[in-house]
DNA sequence: CACAGACACTAACACGCGTTAGTACACCCG
DNA sequence: CGGGTGTACTAACGCGTGTTAGTGTCTGTG
């Protein structure tokens, strides 16, 4: 299949019209079911037959051009470190929901600098980013991008994600640990994410949750994703924060790092230190001990994001945020 | 930032022309550096200034329409189960490389049925899929899609992936196990992937690799991604295939499942059973014991894919496949 | 029989761009 | 002064759609 034969240029609506013996306008009316126009049954049949015969599909570009607005949504992929299994599932769900909404999802890796370059060469109807400065957002809006939203921003989606969604996770994490008798908590993150975007928010929300329950603010433990170095970091931290018995891990990897470090030190979970992570994964279920995790429903998140974006594109008011963040506690053995 | 003000419709090349006091044609010549046309320094300056002033960006749709070919590449996401950390990195790299090649990557989840629907509503220049039947491929080509390639197909990319790339992994996996004194091997997969696409190929390539070294063909172990059920499967399999001491795991999750099952049975790695996985991940490094893995370089893969696709789109002959699959053995403690 | 109105269809424009053919002007050579 | 050669620019077309305004025919009504 290497020598792909030169494809006869794809069929256009004019080809369909010619084959069906009608005008191009009629073809358009039939295929779009234009309600203001009536078409005889016979003509409709002929047009549909011709379209099928030529396996005609309208050109997305021409359609976008004609209707005046693009149908593509540019989604900036979060930085590699944050590309978790959960995000993968959200992305997958997004692609299907956007498709149902008649939008196509263009994905691009987030590169700090030439961001403007990308969104301007794709001319999307909306942009969904992980992290976005207000200047960037303003610039995009000024250039015809109707919907601009970000995960950690101050727009509708950002507020919900960093609000209800994070709050749900924090409540479940802290609640589970407290129920097991842990009153001094810590917050674990891996790598360079420390104090960046999502991590920053999570930490803040956890602090508030603890405060509300009359617990001391959780200290931050930054762990390398390597067993022996994780052990080292864990030991150092233990010395500086005695009495902490429960850990809220930022994600699956952070939870695994805590477990790996503990193993090296001869500590046992949950006896010596209890762990609850966020964003469930296959690896978490297979850990030793199997990790108790807060699972975030990709469906709820994807649904809300698509609803907001389509509303922005259509110019209608943004829908109310779901009251729940779609978080569920998956109880296993690490607490 | 909710009340997004109505954006003044985005600037067109006509706006730039008006502001610069020249014709639209001249604007196009300046901005595209058309080599057949000479432009006075003064005019060029004025046009560039006007473009900058209006922060003009050409419409991707109009450009594609005018130049006759689309610039979007439709990438079908592999089914959720195969969405590994490694694939994530490849996707990330793809987006950057395609961008450099002037193509934009549209991502869509692979849904068995309405596949045709998607690629026809996006009208991409090329389609890259995980798995693709020859009929689907033929249909797309007949409809103006110039490049059609798939991961497990019989096209250039497919041959390389299922050839050199899989072969490299198999050689490293088997080689490492043999070096440690293991001569009877098994192949572990999780979930429903059993005997589908990539897994099927991997198994076949492993069989050939073993044959070449005079070893018996590896038996297949299918594991659930759950510790106790994995243990059960492992025990049953052990009874039916005694003497096997080395396991080639399909991916990170399969390797973790083997480890989890062994732990439940009180077996130790690598003493009772040695494990080598493919597609390294953070979780593999944090496992107990840390997993020896074959890491596949996303750069090599992404680079070749982009080279092939751009060649197909341009109509030039496809470049030769890289001799190496970009696989490296990451030695840890599970062998 | 004339006229209104529904019906079925089409001509023609707009969308924003790339590009070909062509125009106006200045210059040099015979 | 006529004709050629550049140089710097523009008018106009085509890409494939969606859509508005219009045209012709058939039917029913006063």
Q: What is the pLDDT of residue A84?
A: 78
Nearest CA-CA partner of B107 in B84, B73, B130, B139: B73
Q: What is the C-alpha separation between A309 and A158, in angstroms, rounded?
A: 12
Which residues of chain B does A263 touch, with a Cβ-Cβ cutoff of 8 Å?
Answer: 288
Which residues of chain B does A137 touch, with a Cβ-Cβ cutoff of 8 Å?
Answer: 1
Q: What is the C-alpha separation between B328 and B335, in angstroms, rounded?
A: 16
B238: left (phi over 0), alpha (psi -120 to 50) or beta: alpha
Token pair of A254 as six digits = 């952070």
Q: What is the pLDDT of residue A5?
A: 42
Q: What is the pLDDT of residue A192?
A: 61
CB-based contact B126:B147 (threshold 8 Å): yes
Q: What is the pLDDT of residue B169?
A: 94
Bridge partners for A81 per DSSP: none
Nearest CA-CA partner of B59 in A255, A294, A122: A122
Within 7 Å of a protein beta carbon, the nucleotides of strand C are 7-12, 14-20
How long is the CA A63 to C1' D27 vector, in angstroms? 37
Location of each CATH 1.10.260 domain in chain A? 13-58
Q: Which of residues 112-151 of B touch strand D (CB under 7 A)?
A: none
Residue B111 in contact with partner chain A when CB distance is under 8 A: yes
User: pLDDT of B170-211, one tens digit each?
Assistant: 999 999 999 999 999 999 998 765 556 678 888 999 999 999
Q: What is the pLDDT of residue B188?
A: 95
Token pair of A4 as six digits = 């792909």
Q: What is the C-alpha separation between A12 and A56, in angstroms, rounded?
A: 7
Mean pLDDT of A5-10: 60
Architecture field, domain A161-296: 3-Layer(aba) Sandwich (3.40)
> Which residue is associated with the tokens 């966020």?
A278
CATH superfamily of B159-296: Response regulator (3.40.50.2300)
Q: What is the pLDDT of residue B76?
A: 87
- Output DSSP code: residue B321: P
Which of A127-141, B9-23, B234-248 shows the lowest mean pLDDT across its residues? A127-141
User: pLDDT of A91-107, one tens digit each?
Assistant: 889 988 998 888 888 88
Architecture field, domain A13-58: Orthogonal Bundle (1.10)
Nucleotide nearest to A29 (CA to C1'): D18
Q: What is the pLDDT of residue B130?
A: 80
For chain A, give the percent of residues with pLDDT over 90.
Answer: 59
The residue among A294 and A191 whose pLDDT is bigger is A294
- Output DSSP code: residue B293: E
Residues 18-47 of A with CB under 8 A from B: none
The rounded mean pLDDT for chain B is 88
Location of each CATH 3.40.50.2300 domain in chain A? 70-158+299-322, 161-296
Beta-carbon neighbour count of residue A175 at 10 Å? Answer: 14
Q: What is the C-alpha separation between B334 and B302, in angstroms, rounded?
A: 29
DSSP track, B64-128: HHHHSS--EEEEEEPPGGG--HHHHHHHHHHHHHHHHTT-EEEEEE--SSTHHHHHHHH--SEEE
Longest dimension (CA), chain A: 85
Q: What is the pLDDT of residue B117?
A: 63
How long is the CA A239 to C1' D1 vector, in angstroms? 102
Nearest protein residue to nucleotide D9 (CA to C1' distance) is: B26
How long is the CA A39 to C1' C8 vector, in angstroms? 6
- The answer to whether A43 CB is within 7 Å of strand C is yes
Location of each CATH 3.40.50.2300 domain in chain B? 70-158+299-322, 159-296
Residue A287: exposure state from Cβ atoms within 10 A (0-12, 13-18, ≥19): buried
Pick the residue of A283, A292, A316 with the most B CBs within 10 A to test the interface with B by mutation: A283
> Which residue is associated with the tokens 């970091």?
A233
User: pLDDT of B251-306, one tens digit each?
Assistant: 999 999 999 999 999 999 899 999 999 999 999 999 999 999 999 999 999 999 99
Residues 76-105 of A with CB under 8 A from B: 77, 80, 83, 85, 88-89, 91-93, 95-96, 99, 104-105
Which residues of chain A does B142 touch, with a Cβ-Cβ cutoff of 8 Å?
Answer: 7-8, 55
Residues 121-160 of B with CB under 8 A from A: 121-123, 134, 137, 139, 141-148, 153-156
A89 with B108: Cβ contact below 8 A: no
Q: How far is B216 from chain A (nearest CA, A)?
A: 30
Which residues of chain A does B320 touch, with a Cβ-Cβ cutoff of 8 Å?
Answer: none
How sure is the predictor about B81, in pLDDT bands with cuts at 50, 70 and 90? Answer: low
- The answer to whether B96 CB is within 7 Å of strand C is no
CB-based contact A250:A189 (threshold 8 Å): yes
How sure is the predictor about A4, in pLDDT bands with cuts at 50, 70 and 90? Answer: very low
Residue A289, preceding peptide bond in cis (omega within 30° of 0)? yes
Nucleotide nearest to B29 (CA to C1'): C18
User: pLDDT of B219-239, one tens digit each?
Assistant: 999 999 899 999 999 999 999
- The answer to whether B35 CB is within 7 Å of strand C is no
Which residues, in sequence order, are CB contacts of B224 under 8 Å at separation 6+? Answer: B190, B191, B230, B233, B257
Q: What is the C-alpha separation between A265 and A75, in angstroms, rounded?
A: 42
Measure the N-to-C terminal CA separation of chain B; round to a whole number of Å: 55
Q: What is the C-alpha separation between A45 and B206, in angstroms, rounded?
A: 54
CB-based contact A212:A240 (threshold 8 Å): no
The residue among A64 and A200 whose pLDDT is bigger is A64
Nucleotide nearest to B63 (CA to C1'): C17
Query: Reduced to 3 states, what is the DSSP secondary structure of residue B297?
Result: coil
Considering only the top CATH level, what class is B70-158+299-322? alpha beta
User: pLDDT of A226-259, one tens digit each?
Assistant: 999 999 999 999 999 889 999 999 999 999 999 9
Nearest CA-CA partner of A281 in B252, B267, B110: B252
Q: What is the pLDDT of residue A81?
A: 62
Nearest CA-CA partner of A103 in B121, B120, B76, B144: B121
Q: What is the C-alpha separation between A302 and A250, in angstroms, rounded?
A: 21
B282 with A190: Cβ contact below 8 A: yes
pLDDT beyond 70 at A201:
yes
Q: What is the 3-state secondary structure (H, E, C) of chain A?
A: CCCCCCCCCCCCHHHHHHHHCCCHHHHHHHHHCCCCCCCCHHHHHHHHHHHHHCCCCCCHHHHHHHHCCCCEEEEEECCHHHCCHHHHHHHHHHHHHHHHCCCEEEEEECCCCCHHHHHHHHCCCEEEECCCCHHHHHHHHCCCCCEEEECCCCCHHHHHHHHHHHHHHHHHHHHHHHHCCCCCEEEEEEHHHCCCHHHHHHHHHHHHHHHHCCCCCCEEEEECCCHHHHHHHHHHHHHHCCCCCEEEECCHHHHHHHHHHHHHHCCCCCCCCEEEEECCCHHHHCCCCCCEEEEECHHHHHHHHHHHHHHHHHCCCCCCCCCCCCEEEECCCCC
- Output DSSP code: residue B322: P
Token pair of B194 as six digits = 């059993």
Q: What is the C-alpha separation between A126 and A141, in angstroms, rounded?
A: 9
Nearest protein residue to nucleotide C14 (CA to C1' distance) is: A66
Which of B95-104, B108-117, B253-262 shows the lowest mean pLDDT across its residues? B108-117
How many residues does the structure list for chain B?
A: 335
How long is the CA A299 to C1' C17 vector, in angstroms? 39
Within 7 Å of a protein beta carbon, the nucleotides of strand D are 7-12, 14-21
Mean pLDDT of A284-298: 95
Q: What is the pLDDT of residue A304?
A: 95
Which residues of chain A does B61 touch, with a Cβ-Cβ cutoff of 8 Å?
Answer: 60-62, 64-65, 70, 123
């Amino acid at each position: 299949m290497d020598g792909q034969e030169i494809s006869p240029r794809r069929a256009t609506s004019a080809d369909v019209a010619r084959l069906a013996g009608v005008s191009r306008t009629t073809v358009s009316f039939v295929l779009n079911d234009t309600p203001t126009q009536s078409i005889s049954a016979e003509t409709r049949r002929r047009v549909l037959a011709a379209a099928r015969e030529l396996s005609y599909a309208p050109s997305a570009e021409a359609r976008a051009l004609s209707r005046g607005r693009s149908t593509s949504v540019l989604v900036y992929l979060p930085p590699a470190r944050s590309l978790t299994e959960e995000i993968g599932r959200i992305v997958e769900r997004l692609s299907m929901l956007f498709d149902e909404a008649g939008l196509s999802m263009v994905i691009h890796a987030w590169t700090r600098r030439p961001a403007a370059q990308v969104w301007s060469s794709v001319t999307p109807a909306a942009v969904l980013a992980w992290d976005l400065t207000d200047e960037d957002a303003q610039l995009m809006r000024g250039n015809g991008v109707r919907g601009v939203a970000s995960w950690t921003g101050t727009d509708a989606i950002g507020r919900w994600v960093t609000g209800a969604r994070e709050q749900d996770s924090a409540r479940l994490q802290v609640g589970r640990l407290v129920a097991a008798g842990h009153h001094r908590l810590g917050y674990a993150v891996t790598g360079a994410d420390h104090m960046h975007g999502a991590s920053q928010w999570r930490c803040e929300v956890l602090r508030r949750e603890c405060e509300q329950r009359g617990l001391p603010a959780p200290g931050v433990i930054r762990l390398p994703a390597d067993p022996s170095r994780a052990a080292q970091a864990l030991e150092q931290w233990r010395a500086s924060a005695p009495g902490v018995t429960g850990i809220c891990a930022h994600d699956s990897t952070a939870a695994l790092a805590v477990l790996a470090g503990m193993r090296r030190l001869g500590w046992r979970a949950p006896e010596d230190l209890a762990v609850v992570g966020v964003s469930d994964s296959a690896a978490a279920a297979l850990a030793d001990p199997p990790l108790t995790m807060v699972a975030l429903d990709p469906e709820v998140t994807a649904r809300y994001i698509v609803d907001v974006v389509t509303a922005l594109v259509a110019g209608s008011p943004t829908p109310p945020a779901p009251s729940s963040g779609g978080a569920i506690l998956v109880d296993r053995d690490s607490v």
